[in-house]
Chain A
């Protein structure tokens, strides 16, 4: 009983730390993948639209799949993603918060992870439409407001 009383909290704490660390890296990798998706899809389409645009403006308040939320441990990851460009450099970013209550005592609350990605905007084919080309060149040269 005594050993159990001593070891159980230690193991519980280590399990929580393992879950926390797993969640942190999962969230980190998730933000990396999403930032890359946002940045590259945006840059590939001349920094006009991207796959991320469909949910770019949203702030994903829900939990992302695979989080320990399903385990009922009070964990969740909130995220938001954006893509924009300045001086024709596409910039994708993603931010997720890994919110795992059991380790609050050790890590001062939710862990927010932010990852960014950059690539030059890939111009769309203009053919011989010089007016469209010039307009986009002017737009792309201006820093985003």
Chain B
């Protein structure tokens, strides 16, 4: 039995030969390295596939982000360029009106000189206005002057021998030469004044339109440019915003009341806030501003070189400035109907009432009663000093609180760039075994990071001049030079916040803003008093409107605080979704 068991067990064990063969096989396997490289190769191949995947993700993300930022830059730059073009167009129209006014002044000035020649030679029957215009600044009443002139001028010329001297100098010939020019100029001026009073207000209205529309047009064209940035068949959607988009009349308070970024040193505000959109307004003096500027241009252009004479030049400069002011007073800014107005005809007197004897020196025969002096139609307050009347208007000049580099020259853009970066980053994260990377909607604003992936840019329009804003070569002259020069350009800037950004946000969130109750309060009041909400409340109780106010609107406020506040005050931490 034992033998039987042993033999059975022994039969189950490998034979010696088999054991030897197994050992040999194990030794061969131990020594056999065939296929080992394949394992390593497959592992490395997988790694390389991951690297390629990461390469694709990195490439996509880099290009998408840079292109998106380029698109944001383009939106801001394009919008600011349109702002600058608007300013250039306004400057161009200002210059056109200035030229029209300068021509008027030149013609009127020559006409008045010819008036003087005709008076001296007795070829006109009107002297009083000239006398009045001369003596009026000294307070001499018009009628006194009139009486004095009609009696004394002719006598003065005769008694002093000036009349005879003029005849000896062949002055009658000069008068004969001047007379047709005088009359022709009178007709030309009549038509010219009609042209001025008809078309210059239209130009002024067009300028106003440009100032209001240019910021919005800039935003639209900028958005169009942003949309053109297409990659992987996806477009960007951009929006450009600037303070110029809202005219001062639409703001909750005048600028002076809410530009309190430096409470210890509030910005001085000396004028009315008539900003039309772009930082320009119609001056209160209206077209008279053009007249003053044109007077300066004419006098400086003709006699300005005399200012270069040492010492005397300063005196001449003072006289020229005074003369410019007088030209404005005479031709463009009459305190009443004016010497340039046809309404002043009552002051003119026929010559036969007083000069028959006095003008014996002239030797030119009877004066021509058809000669009229100072009979220009465009004078008077209706046209020149009526900047507040939209039917007349005036040139558009810079508002005094706007200058190169400040808030009123800035344009901001925001680009929504879709969720392409997140897709790319997933590839990068996956390849890098970084499964905890914030590549999805788990982080970011309101859990919507992929939706609110935005890019920001800032640009500004500026007046291209060498000196500071207040320097003469920039905008420091009395005629507001930046408004008469087509040197407005644009440039990109690093993003910085609006100086009144915090005030603006405070107003949005309910606090007072220049004495106005906050936007928040207005919305709350509107919802509470709305007939629609009242109807809802009547049917379902006041719970729903209240819930909407405290719920949806409250969420909106919180969102606005984070998003808008973060954007316009980048000094605080930017939301991490904003790249």
Contact = CB atoms under 8 A, between A and B. Distances in A.
A32 B63 contact: yes
B48 A130 contact: no
B229 to A, nearest CB: 8
B487 A122 contact: no
A7 B40 CA distance: 10
Interface stretch (A15-23, A60-68, A70-78, A103-111): A15-23
Given A21-B52, A116-B228, A127 B78 contact: no
A90 to B, nearest CB: 9
A145 interface: no
Given A14-B52, A119-B74, A7 B38 contact: yes
A83 interface: no
Contacts of B84: 122-123
Contact of B225 (A6, A22, A89, A126): A89
A21 B489 contact: no
A29 B58 CA distance: 12
A2 B92 CA distance: 82
A51 B353 CA distance: 79
A4 interface: yes
A7 B41 contact: yes
A126 B38 contact: no
B309 interface: no
Contacts of A125: 464, 485-489
A14 B486 contact: no
Interface residues of A, number: 38
B78 A28 contact: no
Contact of A128 (B45, B49, B95, B225): B95
A21 to B, nearest CB: 5
A120 B461 CA distance: 13
Contacts, number: 122
Interface in B38-91: 38, 41, 44-45, 48-49, 51-52, 55-56, 58-59, 62-63, 66-67, 70, 73-74, 77-78, 81-82, 84-85, 88
Nearest to A4: B37
A10 interface: yes
A124 B84 CA distance: 11
Interface in A81-136: 88-89, 116-130, 133-134
B35 interface: yes
B132 interface: no
B130 interface: no
B270 to A, nearest CB: 27
Nearest to A22: B55
Nearest to B486: A126
A143 to B, nearest CB: 15
Contact of B70 (A117, A129, A134): A117
A118 B487 contact: no
B551 to A, nearest CB: 42
Contacts of B96: 130
Candidate in B63, B70, B222, B487 with the most chain A CB atoms within 10 angstroms:
B70
A118 B74 contact: yes
A2 B35 CA distance: 8
B49 A120 contact: no
A115 to B, nearest CB: 8
A17 B53 CA distance: 11
B415 to A, nearest CB: 13
B225 A119 contact: yes
Given A127-B485, A128-B95, A11 B63 contact: no
Nearest to B62: A29
B358 interface: no
Closest 10 CB pairs of A and B: A25-B59, A125-B487, A120-B81, A7-B41, A120-B78, A126-B486, A3-B38, A3-B37, A125-B464, A118-B225
6 contacts: A3-B41, A11-B48, A18-B51, A120-B221, A122-B489, A126-B88
Interface of A: 2-4, 6-7, 10-11, 14, 17-18, 21-22, 24-25, 28-29, 32, 36, 43, 88-89, 116-130, 133-134
